[in-house]
Structure 1
Amino acid sequence: MSEGIGETPRAEKERTGTKITVSSPEQLALQYDERGLIPAIVQDVKSGTVLMLAYMNQESLEKTLAEGRTWFYSRSRQQLWAKGETSGCVQKVRGIYYDCDADTLLVQVEQTGVACHEGSFSCFSHPIMEKDGAVDLDWAVLAWLEDLIREREKERPEGSYTTYLFEKGIDKILKKVGEESTEVVIAAKGGKKEEIIYETADLFYHLLVMLRERKIELKEVWKELAARHKK
């Protein structure tokens, strides 16, 4: 069983064991390799998607614990680096666990933007084998966008387009859904791939805003689609 260094809110409710909190990794019997490194699997805490694999040393783990965002050690540059330092795609740490051999870490995070430098939500987006019906990892971006829209509805940051839509109400939101649907039809009729992709992305966004306004979660739509697939 993996032990926890911090917990996600859900994990705190479900786990009945003792929560492990440490001020320094020196207190843990982690098994670093001969270079002083330990692999860290990074997982999106909301969707469960595995985002990336990186390496930590004791110093980067200490900084991660102290700052609440991921720090790693670059084997090629031989220096510490903070995820999102240049891209803005910061990972907020929600829980850290080590496995039964104490030689691998699992870091659960809230991912801002995408994790992969190629633009994918997850670095693991190049399948070698997939079971029939497997969901593309990049669909997790919709779950991330749903969470972002939920935050915008709650916090209503000034200058946000999402805030503007929620303040205008359902009629404005539905009008935009209709407009964006028409834009998709026009783009598809024109046949230009880039325009179809662009307009479809706009439609997805406005549909998610509409679902949020009506308090419908994306997983409920997935459940309906799955039920239809079984028929």
Structure 2
Amino acid sequence: MQLFDNIKFDDKGLIPAVIVNVADNRVLTLCFMNRDAVDKTIETGKVHVFRRSQNRLMIKGETSGHTQLVEEVFFDCEGKSLVLKVKQNVAACHAGYMSCYYRKYNSSTDSIEINEEKIFDPEKTYKT
């Protein structure tokens, strides 16, 4: 696959991937992909990631059903990171928000503010 001639995995076999909502260009999350995750993402059109905490490949939305359909794949000038533009199903963040970047630092008050509404209840979605 020609894509693999243009990207460079790190010494652990991973490459960071920024996931962006194609609808509004908002950053949804940052994940890591190994070669298998990139292969599966290209093959299926759905984002697959390498979960470092679980040392395994998984499809984004495996538990929640909140999948990401790939529209475009970009890579940086050195081939050391990816940007995937996706159609997001429901929300990207396991905390219930559209984006994992739902918190904003306010320097004038030295405080953290939540800058979006929850879209779903994580306790109902991730029954443990």
TM-score interval, smaller chain: 0.7 to 0.9
CA distance in 2, matches of 1:63, 1:49: 24
CA distance in 2, matches of 1:69, 1:102: 21
Please, which of 47, 50, 65 is the counterpart of residue 73 of structure 1?
A: 50
1:138 aligns with 2:110: no
CA distance in 2, matches of 1:38, 1:68: 18
1:59–1:66 CA distance, 2 compared to 1 (3 A):
same
Q: Which has the higher contact order (CA 8 A, sep 6+)?
A: 2
- TM-fit CA distance, 1:129: 3.9
CA distance in 2, matches of 1:77, 1:119: 21
CA distance in 2, matches of 1:104, 1:36: 12
> For residues 49-64 of structure 1, what are the structure 2 equivalents within 5 Å?
49-64=26-41
CA distance in 1, matches of 2:84, 2:11: 22
The number of residue pairs the alignment matches comes to 113
* Contact 1:55–1:72 (CA under 8 A) maintained in structure 2: yes
Give the alignment's Cα RMSD to 1 decimal. Answer: 2.0
Work out which of the two has the higher radius of gyration on C-alpha atoms and give 1 or 2.
1
- Deviation string, structure 1 residues 164-214 (Cα, Å, up to 9, x no partner): xxxxxxxxxxxxxxxxxxxxxxxxxxxxxxxxxxxxxxxxxxxxxxxxxxx
1:99 aligns with 2:63: no
- Deviation string, structure 1 residues 114-153 (Cα, Å, up to 9, x no partner): 100000000001112479xxxx7637x7xxxxxxxxxxxx
* Contact 2:103–2:115 (CA under 8 A) maintained in structure 1: no
- Deviation string, structure 1 residues 75-114 (Cα, Å, up to 9, x no partner): 1111101011110101000001001121010000000001
* Contact 2:73–2:85 (CA under 8 A) maintained in structure 1: yes
CA distance in 1, matches of 2:107, 2:8: 33
* Contact 2:104–2:115 (CA under 8 A) maintained in structure 1: no
2:105 match: secondary structure: coil
User: Could you list the runs of 4 or more consecutive aligned residues of structure 1 that deviate by over 2 angstroms after TM superposition?
Assistant: 23-26, 136-139
1:63–1:84 CA distance, 2 compared to 1 (3 A):
same
Q: TM-score, normalised by structure 1?
A: 0.46
Q: TM-score, normalised by structure 2?
A: 0.81
CA distance in 2, matches of 1:114, 1:123: 9
Identity %: 33
Q: Which has the higher helix share?
A: 1
CA distance in 1, matches of 2:115, 2:27: 9
Structure 1 unmatched runs, 5+: 1-22, 142-231
- Report what 2:7 is aligned to: 30
